[in-house]
Chains A and B, each alone.
Chain A
């Protein structure tokens, strides 16, 4: 199975400031079609996970443009340009290149 790691595991943030989360996979997630099979999800307190980014850098419909995804191969980054209070929760990366799809351990983002 592909193992996903994230850093940091906890991220206190200040509203209005940028934030960044890293995700690394044990194998390259670059498909032969040129896409990276890497998603980012946010799970807000008491809610189901919600899709933010798919194929490494594509924002899901309705996701604010302050969220962006980048990276290729084994190393990926989720950036929030200006954190808002509603962005608190746990962020997960997930690979869908191979089954079983596997998630990272999560990064808990809260307000300082």
Chain B
């Protein structure tokens, strides 16, 4: 049974960087039929896909334009996890952040079938 376990701070100050981790059990971050996504949810924005990383002979990243200048998603093969960094935070970045497994190069379109438990992040001084 695949599980995703999120960790990271819940309170971050404006202008600082948010760092979240998503530890994978029962699957591999390097499997080339999976993509590893970050999604956030807020009352003002609803569900918002932020980006993903996946492996297909080499590592690829794709990011939403809305956060592209501030976001980095990295795989960590040594810990079998992937991470989210979002810099220059503002209160508008306050949201519940989710990691999720989705389709990969061999399974595009297969949906995000495993989700983390969610991390409620507040950006406030």
Question: Could you list which residues of chain A lie within 8 angstroms of chain B, going by C-beta atoms?
Answer: 1, 31, 35, 37, 39, 41, 48-51, 53-55, 60-61, 92, 94, 96-97, 99-103, 105-106
Q: Does B115 contact A (CB under 8 A)?
A: yes
Q: Which residue of A lies closest to B115 (CB)?
A: A48
User: Is B111's CB under 8 angstroms from A54's CB?
Assistant: yes
Complex Cα–Cα for A61 and B113 (A): 9
Closest to B68 in A: A100
B116 touches A48 (CB 8 A): yes
Stretch at the interface among B10-18, B26-34, B43-51, B76-84: B43-51
Closest approach, in angstroms, between the C-beta of B97 and any C-beta of chain A?
11
Which of A37, A96, A103 counts the most B-chain CB atoms under 10 A from its CB? A96
**Are B111's CB and A60's CB within 8 A?**
yes
Find B115's partner among A49, A54, A103 (CB 8 Å cutoff).
A49
B10 to chain A, nearest CB (A): 16
Asked if A102 meets B49 with Cβ closer than 8 Å, knowing A48-B98, A48-B116, A96-B103, the reply is: yes
25 A-B pairs with CB atoms under 8 Å apart are: A39-B111, A39-B112, A48-B98, A48-B118, A49-B112, A51-B111, A51-B112, A53-B111, A54-B109, A54-B111, A54-B113, A55-B110, A61-B113, A92-B47, A94-B49, A96-B109, A97-B109, A99-B64, A100-B51, A101-B49, A102-B49, A103-B47, A103-B48, A103-B49, A105-B46
